[in-house]
Amino acid sequence: MSTDVVGQGDHAVGPQLPPPGTPIIEVTDIGKTYGSVIALRNVSTQVKAGEVTCVLGDNGAGKSTFIKILAGAHTHTSGEFVVDGEKRRFSSPREALALGIATVYQDLAVVPLMPVWRNFFLGSEVTKGAGPWKRLDIARMKTITKSELAAMGIDLRDVEQPIGTLSGGERQCVAIARAVYFGARVLILDEPTAALGVRQSGVVLKYVAKARDRGLGVIFISHNPHHAYPVGDRFMLLRRGRSMGNFGKSELSLDDLVQMMAGGAELEALSHELARQMPDSEVAKNMEFDVAETLNAPADDASSEDPGS
């Protein structure tokens, strides 16, 4: 990558990136209870510099609880949360941010009516002058925005346009570029592709890879294994608040991942149920087909099922 350090030189925000492969975040048997409700238990994983750790799970699996602990929005109630070899317990997102753990939320990334450059520097504006003449250094901020976005492969003609006029994917990318510029070492991306079309998702995935190649540790939360698999180095599956294990990319094929996510047998039962109740439904037929396809793909254990029953 020839563009990976653009912008890193002219600012000194945040700590330096460790060499790739160094674990930045390690969580061991982490858990969270809300009163008597157990939202998350015994979850362990690692985030290494220059790697993408995917957290996968269906709705309600505990993904958001997990990332909120990492982002500092919630504190964990059990287990260990270690950053750079030191045990941590965040009480606010600011603390996480100070350690270079930045979160980009799906919908909360930008202020749509504000120009791109104002969004990019929002909350960390560059100023010049002193006293009553202390003012925004607009020219500088525009230049940096333009070059930083160019380094991430987004070329805007006019950084003055409201960010709402960009596509959803581009907005996510601006938010990612912003976190990278302001010294993030770990980037938590909450469902960055959930609301996007196929092409837009591809664009975002490309920037995830770029951030990784810059040496950042990335936590990619998704319910879509097809998006997670291509960029992920490590996969952690959550179901009903429990970890279903950590896997390196080499230990797991995409089909394995899809099957694990879908919950194998459960999904199959559901497809049969649908077929029985609505025999003519297009959805049920499609679903049955999908299930059969997925389950048969590993080609051994699931082949006994008859998809046409």
Partner 1 sequence: MSTTAAPPPVAAPESERDERVGRYAGLAAVLRRPETGALVAAIVIFCYFSFTTTAFALPAGASTWIFFSSSFAIMAVAVALLMIGGEFDLSAGAMTGTTGLITGIMMSHWHINVWVSIATSLVAALAIGLVNGLLVMKTGLPSFIVTLGTFFVLRGLNLAVVKQIIHQVSVVDFQEAPGYNSGAQLFGSKVQIDIGWLPWVKVPSTGILTIYSATWWAIGVIVIATWVLQRTRAGNWIFAVGGAQLSARQVGVPVFRTKVGLFMTTAFAGWMVGMLSLFKTTTAQSTTGVGAEFIYIICAVVGGCLLTGGYGSAVGAALGALIYGMVYQGIIYHNWDSDWQYAFLGVMLLGAVLVNNWVKTRAERVR
Chain residues binding partner 1 by CB under 8 A are: 1, 3-5, 17, 20-21, 50-51, 93-94, 97, 103, 105, 108-114, 118, 121-125, 127, 134-136, 138, 150, 153-158, 160-162, 164-168, 170, 178, 203, 205-206, 209-210, 212-215, 230, 233
Least Cβ distance, residue 135 to partner 1 (angstroms): 4
Least Cβ distance, residue 208 to partner 1 (angstroms): 10
Cβ proximity to partner 1: between 3 and 44 the closer is: 3
Least Cβ distance, residue 266 to partner 1 (angstroms): 32
Cβ proximity to partner 1: between 166 and 295 the closer is: 166
Cβ proximity to partner 1: between 104 and 284 the closer is: 104
Least Cβ distance, residue 236 to partner 1 (angstroms): 17
Q: What is the CB neighbour count within 10 angstroms for residue 23? A: 16
Cβ proximity to partner 1: between 26 and 170 the closer is: 170
Pair 106, 195: CB distance under 8 Å:
yes
Cβ proximity to partner 1: between 213 and 266 the closer is: 213
